[in-house]
């Protein structure tokens, strides 16, 4: 079968002017025409198991090849994929250093979440990261992919459960590694920001050997080392609001929890101050320990606790607190990470008809993160319920108590303990042994796969609740509770106290050893799989031979996350419980057919049966039609059903106690001003063994058109309707239903009926009624040959528009998140931008390649969902930011490559070319005052330079 003009055009469109496209462009027209007449090797395109000669199928497939990766200027596959327009809410960026799945990155197609996007490596599965994002969403870590070994990435943008399995509701990302490289290539690069931090080191060596046809074997080995250094927010003080929790210069106040850490926000309400805020036992008003006014009612005064002795940060809290900007002082834009990877592949000709092959991936990563010191009053939760720490206090005889003689509540940010730091050590292994060949006209492929991901997490700087209470208030009850569980506390003299703030230097190191020991947790995920698939052509229809494929698969999936030490009883202040354990077996049978019923018209169909030992059976069909009325035009469409079984985090053993943000409409209506804006709350979510699987219907209708030579345009209209969607109950719904725990002791005096602040929202994983996502993809590509031998100009644009992201609950209430900051329960409040655009202008001339890339994110309404009131407000009550909208963000990257010698290539890039600053985002908690989508706007302009030498 010869490749058609449309096939070549679509191949160039999908492959980013890869090897075939570049060869055709570099040849004279006559030579290119001759090349077009050569037979094209049959390949398997992602989304089908049937080998074919044409790149275009009924499904919409986007291919990013090596040329695209190089033109992007990105140093890793994950960095590139997360800039693509098809990635949306629910992805896991590298900047989530303090998230549940720190150290990993994940992609979320169509905004349906990383758990609904199946990531394959060479067409087969890989074990998910040991930690689940938000404690729920199991996903594959893109960091394990060795960049130099990548040949291309094929992204199937419609559902593929019928071909690949249940977790492909949103689509498939298939990363295909190199097979035919021969020789040795060494690459090294160094990146650094304009602030001379965040250094990125990258070294890779790739060696390919043997020829399958002449030698009977071939192999490839790849080793890569990557290291990224910290970028601290304190080194970005010149980037306006980026990283700041003190947003008073931008019109906010301390009463919205955006005026700095340590503010006193009202009667019986205070933040944690670096020198301590203490509550008057008689009036419930908080005063700073450095306050020397007689109005405080202090029985002792502490001149050494003056705020000026601790910080030079601008003050001005009307409540009299001591303000610092804690996030800017302690948090990171980019965590420190170091990883090593080794990839090997070998193929052997066993007989003229049989090949044996094997693959091995090894990956090791170390990630170190840092965040603010632990406050002493942050609430926590565990499966037994919420734990309120609002009652933490200085005992009556504590020497640092300004109300000496009477116990008094304390709000303290213990800089003497230091920041909360976490280290994540992960190890990933994936091994495959397989055989493929031909028998009786059938092509077959069978393999055994083993893959495992393990993560060890060690944390310091976190406070033990029982020891904290006992060291601040050594009452008999507190001492007894601490003695039961803390040998380090038992080793201290009875009645030992923790001296705070200006007196912290008096503490013995043993006090800190008891107060904040190293804690940790281990996690692992494992897949064992065996599969067998075969394909062939037979018969003859008007349009050609019929292609069929069939296969069987068995796999065992296991996941376990142990709770961080102490969280199983709610004993770590401000750190929620997250743990799960589960396993199941899956057996599947599937079949597929390609019928070219007429010249230019083909129909495809597939059907898969999955049996899960924990949730039963599922049948998922898929049908597609492609009609090519002319060489310049093709119409395509697909319909499929999807199925996603609950993960162990959702229906296994364990639970999740995390944090979100929410307003308190009940207290707000009573006149408690601070309750009207979002504040941090604990969210306790329990697994649900009665969960039903998610089921979906996917529709895609598209057109591929070549109106001019070297021009390709594709437009796809898509819609995914998912029912029984597995989610945490919405926080605002749970609050409205009264599923909360409150602390009456935090009620404000003078406000009748004030029930006190929410300590935790109680929720379950539930099957929501349904969600519907729909939108449009536009992909345009044009290559222009410049006159007089000045090379080629390539223009490339990709646009994804989400028209609707509507979720409907069981009670009939619905929320549309498209273009808004929601769904905060599952996105760290990143939001769901309705427009994302990738643009590229590239110039290739002799030994030079230059590319200018632009990535655009549309404005985001600062509301939880369409029609909701603005989520944030300025101090004067106006909607914040202006117009209640997070401004759009566009970043430009410049990439240059020069082939200095036949075996030497030099390359460099400038990211965020115009040093654009990320716009203000006061709602997100995935980053501080900027949206994680705008990460480059927080980092600033950065540079990368490197070279590749091929032997």
**pLDDT score of 587:** 95
How many CB atoms within 10 Å of residue 558? 17
DSSP one-letter string for 389-407: -TT-EE-TT-TT-TTTTS-
Q: How far is the first Cα of the chain from the last one, in angstroms, to the nearest whole number?
A: 36
pTM above 0.75, yes or no: yes
Burial of 257 (0-12, 13-18, 19+ CB in 10 A): buried
**pLDDT score of 180:** 80
Find the mean pLDDT for residues 748-765.
80
The tens digit of pLDDT for each residue in 78-88 reads 888 888 888 88
Name the token pair of 32: 């290119």
**pLDDT score of 828:** 67
Kindly indicate the confidence band of residue 243, based on its pLDDT and cuts at 50, 70 and 90: very high
Q: Could you give the CA distance from residue 341 to residue 656 in angstroms, rounded to a whole number?
A: 32
CB 896 within 8 A of CB 795: no
Q: Could you give the CA distance from residue 686 to residue 766 in angstroms, rounded to a whole number?
A: 10
Find the mean pLDDT for residues 540-563.
93
Asked which of 196-210, 317-331, 470-484, 729-743 is least confident by mean pLDDT, the reply is: 729-743
**pLDDT score of 605:** 93
Which conformational region is residue 387 in: left (phi greater than 0), alpha (psi within -120 to 50 degrees), or beta?
A: beta
**pLDDT score of 12:** 32
**pLDDT score of 925:** 81
The tens digit of pLDDT for each residue in 439-493 reads 999 999 999 999 999 999 999 999 999 999 999 999 999 999 999 999 999 999 9
Kindly indicate the confidence band of residue 26, based on its pLDDT and cuts at 50, 70 and 90: very low
**pLDDT score of 766:** 81
Asked which of 18-22, 417-421, 623-627 is least confident by mean pLDDT, the reply is: 18-22
Q: Could you give the CA distance from residue 361 to residue 429 in angstroms, rounded to a whole number?
A: 6
Asked which of 64-73, 416-425, 630-639, 910-919 is least confident by mean pLDDT, the reply is: 64-73
Q: Could you give the CA distance from residue 757 to residue 343 in angstroms, rounded to a whole number?
A: 53
Kindly indicate the confidence band of residue 16, based on its pLDDT and cuts at 50, 70 and 90: very low
**pLDDT score of 43:** 54
Q: Could you give the CA distance from residue 423 to residue 421 in angstroms, rounded to a whole number?
A: 7
Q: With 60 as the cut, is the pLDDT of residue 723 above it?
A: yes
The tens digit of pLDDT for each residue in 259-273 reads 899 999 888 999 999
How many CB atoms within 10 Å of residue 391? 13
Q: With 90 as the cut, is the pLDDT of residue 223 above it?
A: yes
Q: What rounded mean pLDDT belongs to the chain?
A: 88
Residues facing residue 387 across a β-bridge: 380
The tens digit of pLDDT for each residue in 771-789 reads 899 999 999 999 999 999 8
Question: Measuring CA to CA, which residue among 335, 339, 363, 364 is closest to residue 423?
Answer: 335
Find the mean pLDDT for residues 414-421.
96
Kindly indicate the confidence band of residue 582, based on its pLDDT and cuts at 50, 70 and 90: confident
**pLDDT score of 113:** 80
The tens digit of pLDDT for each residue in 653-700 reads 777 766 667 788 888 888 887 788 777 676 777 777 888 888 899 999
HEC per residue, 897-920: EEEEECCEEEEEEEECCCCCCCCE
**pLDDT score of 110:** 86
Helix (H) or strand (E) holding 24: helix 19-26
How many CB atoms within 10 Å of residue 738? 9
Please report, rounded to a whole number, the percentage of residues in the chain having pLDDT higher than 70. Answer: 92
- DSSP secondary structure code for residue 374 in this structure: P
Q: With 70 as the cut, is the pLDDT of residue 651 above it?
A: yes
Strands 286-288, 264-266: parallel, antiparallel or unpaired by DSSP? unpaired
Cis bond before residue 694 (omega within 30° of 0): no
The tens digit of pLDDT for each residue in 285-307 reads 999 999 999 999 999 999 999 99
Question: Measuring CA to CA, which residue among 319, 316, 307, 313 is closest to residue 265?
Answer: 319
- DSSP secondary structure code for residue 926 in this structure: S
Q: Could you give the CA distance from residue 128 to residue 453 in angstroms, rounded to a whole number?
A: 7
**pLDDT score of 198:** 94
Q: Could you give the CA distance from residue 730 to residue 808 in angstroms, rounded to a whole number?
A: 11
The tens digit of pLDDT for each residue in 801-837 reads 999 999 888 778 889 999 999 887 666 688 999 999 9
**pLDDT score of 62:** 86
**pLDDT score of 373:** 97
Q: With 60 as the cut, is the pLDDT of residue 1 above it?
A: no
* Residue 40 Cα distances to 2, 33, 54, angstroms: 6, 14, 8
The residue ranking higher by pLDDT, 715 or 114, is: 715
């Amino acid at each position: 079968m010869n490749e058609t003009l449309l096939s070549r055009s679509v191949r160039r469109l999908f492959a980013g002017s890869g090897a075939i496209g570049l060869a055709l462009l570099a040849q004279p027209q006559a030579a290119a025409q001759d090349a077009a007449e050569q037979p094209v090797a049959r390949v398997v395109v992602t989304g089908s198991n049937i080998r074919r000669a044409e790149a275009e199928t009924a499904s919409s497939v986007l291919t990013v090849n090596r040329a695209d990766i190089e033109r992007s200027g990105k140093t890793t596959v994950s960095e590139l994929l997360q800039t693509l327009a098809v990635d949306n809410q629910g992805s896991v960026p590298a900047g989530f250093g303090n998230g549940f799945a720190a150290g990993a990155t994940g992609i979320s197609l169509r905004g349906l979440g990383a758990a609904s996007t199946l990531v394959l490596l060479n067409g087969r599965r890989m074990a998910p990261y040991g930690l689940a994002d938000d404690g729920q969403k199991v996903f594959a870590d893109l960091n394990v992919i060795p960049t130099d070994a990548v040949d291309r990435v094929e992204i199937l943008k419609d559902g593929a459960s019928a071909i690949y399995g249940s977790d492909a509701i949103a689509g498939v990302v298939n990363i295909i590694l190199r097979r035919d490289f021969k020789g040795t290539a060494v690459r090294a690069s160094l990146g650094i920001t304009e602030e001379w931090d965040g250094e990125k080191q990258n070294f890779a060596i790739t060696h390919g050997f043997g020829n399958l046809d002449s030698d009977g074997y071939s192999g490839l080995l790849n080793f890569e080392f990557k290291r990224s250094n910290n970028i601290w927010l304190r080194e970005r003080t010149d980037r306006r609001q980026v990283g700041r929790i003190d947003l008073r210069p931008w019109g906010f106040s301390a009463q919205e929890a955006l005026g700095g850490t340590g503010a006193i926000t009202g009667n019986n309400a205070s933040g944690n101050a670096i020198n301590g805020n203490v509550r008057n036992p008689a009036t419930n008003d908080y005063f700073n320990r450095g306050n020397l006014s007689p109005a405080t009612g202090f029985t002792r005064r502490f001149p050494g606790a003056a705020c000026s002795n601790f910080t030079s940060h601008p003050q001005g809290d009307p409540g009299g607190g001591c303000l610092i900007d804690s996030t800017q002082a302690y948090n990171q834009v980019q965590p420190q990470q170091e990883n090593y990877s080794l990839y090997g592949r070998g193929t052997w000709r066993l007989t003229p008809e049989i090949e044996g092959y094997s693959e091995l991936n090894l990956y090791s990563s170390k990630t170190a993160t840092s965040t603010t010191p632990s406050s002493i009053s942050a609430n926590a939760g565990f499966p037994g319920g919420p734990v309120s720490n609002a009652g933490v206090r200085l005992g009556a005889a504590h020497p640092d108590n300004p109300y000496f003689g009477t116990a008094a509540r304390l709000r303290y940010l213990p800089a003497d303990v230091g920041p909360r730091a976490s280290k994540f050590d992960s190890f990933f292994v994936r091994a495959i042994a397989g055989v493929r060949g031909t028998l009786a006209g059938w092509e077959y492929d069978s393999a055994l796969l083993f893959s495992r991901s393990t993560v060890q997490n060690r944390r310091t700087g976190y406070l033990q609740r029982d020891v904290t209470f006992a060291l601040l208030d050594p009452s008999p009850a507190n001492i007894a509770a601490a003695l039961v569980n803390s040998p380090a506390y038992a080793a201290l003299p009875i009645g030992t106290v923790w001296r705070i703030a200006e007196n912290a230097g008096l503490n013995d190191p043993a006090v800190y050893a008891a107060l904040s020991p190293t804690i940790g947790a281990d996690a692992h995920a494992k897949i064992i799989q065996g599969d067998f698939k075969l394909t062939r052509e037979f018969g003859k229809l008007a349009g050609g031979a019929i292609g069929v494929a069939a296969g069987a698969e068995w796999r065992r999936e296991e996941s376990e996350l142990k709770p961080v030490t102490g969280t199983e009883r709610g004993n770590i202040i401000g750190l929620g419980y997250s743990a799960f354990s589960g396993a199941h077996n899956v057996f599947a049978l599937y079949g597929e057919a390609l019928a070219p019923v007429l010249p230019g018209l083909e129909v495809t169909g597939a059907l898969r049966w999955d049996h899960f030992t924990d949730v039963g059976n599922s049948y998922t069909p898929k049908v597609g039609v492609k009609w090519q009325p002319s060489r310049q035009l093709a119409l395509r469409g697909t319909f499929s059903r999807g199925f996603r079984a609950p993960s162990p985090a959702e229906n296994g053993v364990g639970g999740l106690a995390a944090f979100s943000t929410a307003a308190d409409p009940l207290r707000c209506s009573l006149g408690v001003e601070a309750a009207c804006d979002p504040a941090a709350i604990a969210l306790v979510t329990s697994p649900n063994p009665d969960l039903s699987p998610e089921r979906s219907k996917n529709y895609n209708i598209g057109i591929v058109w070549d109106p001019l030579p070297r021009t390709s345009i594709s437009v796809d209209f898509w819609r995914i309707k998912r029912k029984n969607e597995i989610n945490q109950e919405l926080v605002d719904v749970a609050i409205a239903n009264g599923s909360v725990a409150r602390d009456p002791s935090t009620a404000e005096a003078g406000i009748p009926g004030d029930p006190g602040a929410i300590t935790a929202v109680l929720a379950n994983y539930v099957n929501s009624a349904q969600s519907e996502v729909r939108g449009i993809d536009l992909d345009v590509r044009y290559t222009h040959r410049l006159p007089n031998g000045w090379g080629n100009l390539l223009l490339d644009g990709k646009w994804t528009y989400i028209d609707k992201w509507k979720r409907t609950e069981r009670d009939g209430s619905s929320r549309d998140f498209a273009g808004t900051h929601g769904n905060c329960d599952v996105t760290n409040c990143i939001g769901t931008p309705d427009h994302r655009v990738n643009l590229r202008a590239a110039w290739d001339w002799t030994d030079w390649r230059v590319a200018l890339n632009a990535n655009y994110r549309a404005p985001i309404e600062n509301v939880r969902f369409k029609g909701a009131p603005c989520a944030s407000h300025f101090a004067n009550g106006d909607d914040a930011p202006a117009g209640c909208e997070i401004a759009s963000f566009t970043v430009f990257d410049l990439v240059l490559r020069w082939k200095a010698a036949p075996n030497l290539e030099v390359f460099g890039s400038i990211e965020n070319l115009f040093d654009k600053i990320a716009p203000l985002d006061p709602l997100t908690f995935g980053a501080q005052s900027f949206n994680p989508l705008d990460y480059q706007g927080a980092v600033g302009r950065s540079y990368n330079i490197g070279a590749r030498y091929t032997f």
